[in-house]
Structure 1
Amino acid sequence: MTGFLTLQGKRALITGGTQGAGAATLALFRELGAEVLTSARNRPGDLPEEMFVAADLTTPAGCETVAAAVRDRLGGVDILVHMLGGSSAPGGGFAALGEAEWQAELNLNLMPAVRLDRALLPGMVARGAGVVVHVTSIQRLLPLPEATTGYAAAKAALSAYSKSLSKEVAPKGVRVVRVAPGWIATEASLRLAERLAAEAGTDLEDGKRRIMASLGGIPLGRPSAPAEIANLIAFLASDRAASITGTEHVIDGGTVPTV
């Protein structure tokens, strides 16, 4: 196959596409020719209104709002990228996580993908073509007991769900893949580095080193850039990756220490 990577003519929904790696993915998809829709509770001022749906994807009603907008505006999707995720759970280990905290982790990191797949995958299956990308996390392999137990468990559930889904729909022409990032240099993660540095009376670089140390080290010596995550997702979503399905692709600078 010759020529540059392209998503020309593809219709895509990217959840969590208003900041961080999600925003980088949305921008790259547009650059590569895709017609893109994304969602959040509030629209950023620099995002065109026709590309945005206001919705709370942690709720069934919010997912249905976005699915309906996809059908009305795009007529369905060829690519579905589940970038939405994160955690607001308190530190303190398992005892700090009550019913509300556990439900919040699942409602943010697992259920939006389940609900939107359920709403939009039938259209892909009917056409016999499509790609679903679930963004998981290396935390499913390296949970931090003090801070990410709920998040890691939800991402592990997302990964298992994704693998099962891939086996079901691959014979029907739909590919399902996973992307598992490590630490990404987003504005939020850099704010964390700044806070850690301030608490220690050091500088930003020391704050970054502290985050890397908490992960057991990053052999590459730095976090991934949002654009690097976007590059991997765009390749996997493209026709260049036509025989890749059911797999998880780790992008973590070498953080995971096992084979």
Structure 2
Amino acid sequence: MNVDPLVSRLIELALEEDLSLGDVTTDATIDASFMGHGRIAAKQTLVLAGIDVANRVFDAVDPEITLRWECEDGDNADAGQLLAEVHGNVRSLLKAERTVLNFLQRLAGVATMTRAYVDAVAGTNAQIVDTRKTTPGWRTLEKAAVRAGGGANHRMSLGSGILIKDNHIDAGGGIAGAVTGARGFAPHGLAVEVEVRNLDELNQAIEAGADIALLDNMNLETLKLAAARAREAGLLSEASGGVTLATVRAIAECGVDLISVGALTHSSPSVDIHMKVRRA
């Protein structure tokens, strides 16, 4: 997980939230000279994500802190399993603890849910992808966590791909005009994806020269027909809308290439990870 400038700003904000007035409890109860170690462990089964950002938080609090990770991003961990050991000044460890855990618990939660979806479609040709329904400021991290869980990333931003959705079509005058406009505007090689709500709109997208068909909220019977039609025409197909763990397998078996799941980033629960600190 590469930490980019946006993530650096997020780390600064997170630490400012927690430490702008200092840590009065730690400073009042822990001698400044005390050194110690901490053990970061899983309290439930999970898929780990967020190692790099955790490292950066510790480093921002105290560059003298050292860590040894027992797992990598994307590894499965069982309840009680040691994830990392950390050594340094006790005051520094305690000041970093909550911010580190907030990042790890959230990102491992995304990775864990993603892995559940990926496992649910195992043996099919469908790939699980994320959406832009991310926590503001967290997109780079949450999308990296999706990758750690075995999923793939859809657009990182509005500028990283053309996705002509219903509002573009309805407000812009139809599928054909929208695709033509996109072709004229888009940099060479940028795929054009069109959201379609029925087979008629799919045929319009095919005739207009779209590269990918986003099959939105179709029932399974229609979805199967649409996926076959898209494949016949040389388009990739992506299923979207209301996908759950209970339905994703049946959707994958309709023959789509991609299944986008907003829940990976907007509904994944944080997992339980703790850190126990002891004086050396």
- The TM-score with structure 2 as length reference comes to 0.29
Higher RCO (CA 8 Å, separation ≥ 6 residues):
2
- The TM-score with structure 1 as length reference comes to 0.30
